[in-house]
Structure 1
């Protein structure tokens, strides 16, 4: 019970594991489309960063979106520099399992990425997603600009109203400025493409987000 409690409470910076100065090794290219995982990205590309539970299934939701150039899984919104997966799983790094989405804004809008985010997990569960329990599974949107922050906040209000109408709990998603993103290990990248029968613990609420149906998140 003590270990479970520690895993669902964010550590303080002083409690966090020390980590390391150098990045852990990862893949060079995307297993599905061959694009480079790391910058430089194509001119005009923009970035988005989301946490919505186990990043294996979360990443697949985004690489399937038309207009997405490349995706990668990693760790962010914590304290420990260059953490390993095993360290993140202890709950002592503060990191979330996240998906970095590099996209062409002329082909897909940030709002449509938000729609993908909201509809493919349950954002009301706090430090948990389905059977996956721990700080690394919390719902989070990590923004790179004021425009992304405004869109994220508006979409949360919009989707929260939809959930409330159906008697569901309040949204627990955190919206923060994007922090350092640490690429996860090679075997985690595009995991479900490499392992089609692999575990995916994601499950949505069954409630559609009205973004993209003539309703703007800014309304």
Structure 2
């Protein structure tokens, strides 16, 4: 019974009044991107856009995007819940409401948003609800958090295209990706930033669906 209750808590989002309290001050984190040396918190180039992706464990997801041409900087963080400035340990309890996400700062003149969205849909399974493969819990849910109305519309349109591609491949599971305007992003601790560049043999849970989406 205890294990069943624990599993239920981790796969159900908490109510706001049940969320952990958190803290007023931001957690210490890296100042610069470990791979390209760019300032993690800006300033960013004029004309750059920001979008946030949740694809399960943020280690592999961040690497996917920092390796994409036209992406200026990436960062791992927590987003979509209630607890201000959460720690990794707190998010793992499922009692913050946050998902592990990746901030992607990109130059739309070099890489189209459609390309980033295609990578998002193709490189993880957006139909799994509160999990991604063996990573189970609300922190591993699929999410797109937009920073402009145009991004939001593009994300919603791309979801329909991805759902059609899944159906064409005889995969009829419904997409569970959360798509909305971006809530506050909390930078994760320094050791999480660009984790797989610092630990090349580290865990990466990304597993694509095998489908191809528009924008690829």
Q: Fold match, TM over 0.5?
A: yes
- SS state at 2:18 partner: coil
Where in structure 2 are the equivalents of 1:134-213 lying within 5 Å?
134-168=137-171, 169-212=173-216
Q: CA contact under 8 A between 1:143 and 1:177: conserved in structure 2?
A: yes
Q: CA contact under 8 A between 1:52 and 1:139: conserved in structure 2?
A: yes
Alignment match, 1:57: 60
- SS state at 1:151 partner: helix
Alignment match, 1:11: 14
**Distance in 1 separating the partners of 2:49 and 2:150:** 12
Q: In structure 1, which of residues 113, 123, 127 is the aligned counterpart of residue 126 of structure 2?
A: 123
Q: CA contact under 8 A between 2:114 and 2:214: conserved in structure 1?
A: no
- In the TM superposition, residue 183 of structure 1 has moved relative to its aligned partner by 0.2
- Per-residue Cα deviation, 1:156-201 (whole angstroms, up to 9, x for no partner): 0001001012222111101011000000000000000000000011
Alignment match, 1:28: 31
- SS state at 1:14 partner: helix
Alignment match, 1:217: none
Q: CA contact under 8 A between 1:27 and 1:37: conserved in structure 2?
A: yes
- Per-residue Cα deviation, 1:8-32 (whole angstroms, up to 9, x for no partner): 0000100000000000000010010
**Distance in 2 separating the partners of 1:199 and 1:124:** 22
Alignment match, 1:92: 95
**Distance in 2 separating the partners of 1:37 and 1:210:** 30
Give the alignment's Cα RMSD to 1 decimal: 0.7
**Distance in 1 separating the partners of 2:49 and 2:19:** 31
**Distance in 1 separating the partners of 2:84 and 2:93:** 15
- In the TM superposition, residue 210 of structure 1 has moved relative to its aligned partner by 2.4
**Distance in 1 separating the partners of 2:20 and 2:170:** 40
Unaligned runs of 5+ residues in structure 1 are 213-219
- In the TM superposition, residue 116 of structure 1 has moved relative to its aligned partner by 1.0
Unaligned runs of 5+ residues in structure 2 are none
Tell whether 2:70 aligns with 1:67. Answer: yes
**Distance in 2 separating the partners of 1:113 and 1:25:** 29
Q: CA contact under 8 A between 1:164 and 1:170: conserved in structure 2?
A: no
TM-score, with structure 2 as normaliser:
0.97
- In the TM superposition, residue 211 of structure 1 has moved relative to its aligned partner by 2.2
- In the TM superposition, residue 124 of structure 1 has moved relative to its aligned partner by 0.5
Tell whether 2:114 aligns with 1:108. Answer: no
Structure 1 moving runs of 4+ over 6 Å: none
TM-score, with structure 1 as normaliser:
0.95
Pairs aligned (count): 212
**Distance in 2 separating the partners of 1:68 and 1:119:** 18
